[in-house]
Structure 1
Amino acid sequence: MASQTTRSSAQPPDGQPSDADLVAAVLKGQTHAFKTIYFRYSEQLFRFFWRRMNGREIAEDLVQELFAKVWRNRANLDPGQSLKAYLYQAAGNLVIDQLRKNPPERYAQEIRPEHSSEEPDEGRFQVREQIQAAIASLPETQRKVFCLSRFEGLKYHEIADVLEISVKTVETHMSRALKKLRQSLRSLTTLILFWGLL
């Protein structure tokens, strides 16, 4: 299960193969290399899906579907390109397909404290609702850039690969998104700065 993986990092620990090495091995049909990629990225991709689909089961299903597609289409992998960006591009496409099949009445980025099972009180819920609404009100590309940066931890060049835009365009969208969010969430600035969103 994707949610049960214990480690996922773009930077491999000492002694572990790089993403490029793993991709090269996968291109040769080496399944152990593919399993390493799975355990390196499945947990963060699970969170990516969960935040967007608001459901553990569907997030787990989409992780499995994503890696099944990556394996079937492994000939498209390129050791010279960012594996993380490739995976997030594929994940984004799956989310779009899923939302087309089952469009939600309301779409907003879900913000959940990591490793917390506590139910939010009414005040926290209202604050989260305001933040979600502000993020959801951003123009589409600004919202994607902001979420990929703040919630998924992608670097600007990785976001550029995922969205197929230039790094300079990513910087522009991020700057504009931050400006709009600071304006619309002025009363919550202290809390948001504590969370590290802005």
Structure 2
Amino acid sequence: MKKLTDEELMLDVSRGNLDAMAHIFERYNKRLYNFFYQMIKDKDVCEDMTQTVFYKVMRYRSSYKGGQFVSWIFKIARNVFSDQYQKSKKTLNNENLELIAHKNGESKEERNDDVAHLHNALNTLNSQDRELIVLNRFQGIKYDKIAEIVGSSEGAVKVKVHRIMKKLKTVYLETI
């Protein structure tokens, strides 16, 4: 089973072979967690959101009809993140969000000064821009798959990522 592609495994799951889900979990658990962690830096919430993605994959497995699995699962992850973001907006005010980002950004045992500085620069981006950078640069997802995830064209995603990287470099260098 480990030699099957993600798409073949998910088609097996959609047909009722739930044992194949364990292999999908092994392949995507850390990637999804890291995606969420790069976006919000709260370990507990990231674990919950990762679990929610796999719950939704199981619940909506019959809706998978083929295509790029990585795009399909990251669309689900993106929707879970959006739901969490909307929920947190209702429960926290902006001061609390900034306090959480600041507290998590200074964790000395997790990162050195350069990495902390990069994360602080990332936090200056709006959530859509940060999401594109995390998907492309941290998760290594190609532009065409990101375009599927966000519902855009590959060219538009390339241009947007290029502009965001330019903006990120400026912010990073200005705050050194």
Q: Same fold, TM exceeding 0.5? A: yes
Q: Aligned equivalents of 1:145 and 1:119: distance in 2?
A: 23
Give yes or no for the alignment of 1:98 onto 2:89.
no
Which gives a bigger RCO, structure 1 or 2 (Cα 8 Å, sep 6+)?
A: 2
Number of aligned residues: 168
Match of 1:176 in 2: 163
Q: What residue in structure 2 maps to residue 67 of structure 1?
A: 54
**Structure 1 unpaired stretches of 5+:** 1-11, 190-198
Aligned equivalents of 1:65 and 1:161: distance in 2? 21
- Partners in 2 of 1:76 and 1:53 — Cα distance? 29
Higher helix share: 2
Q: 1:89 and 2:75 equivalent?
A: yes
* Aligned partners of 2:121 and 2:172 also within 8 Å: yes
C-alpha contact 2:70 2:145 (8 A) present in aligned 1: yes
Structure 2, gaps ≥5 residues long = none
Whole-Å separation in 1 of the counterparts to 2:116 and 2:23: 37
Shift of 1:147: 1.8
TM-score, scaled to structure 1: 0.71
C-alpha separation between the residues in 1 aligned to 2:20 and 2:152? 30
- Give the TM-score of the pair, scaled to structure 2: 0.79
Q: Which runs of structure 2 are paired with 1:8-23 in the superposition (5 Å)?
A: 16-23=3-10
Is the CA contact (8 Å cut-off) linking 1:142 and 1:176 kept in structure 2? Answer: no
CA distance in 2 between partners of 1:22 and 1:46 (Å) = 20
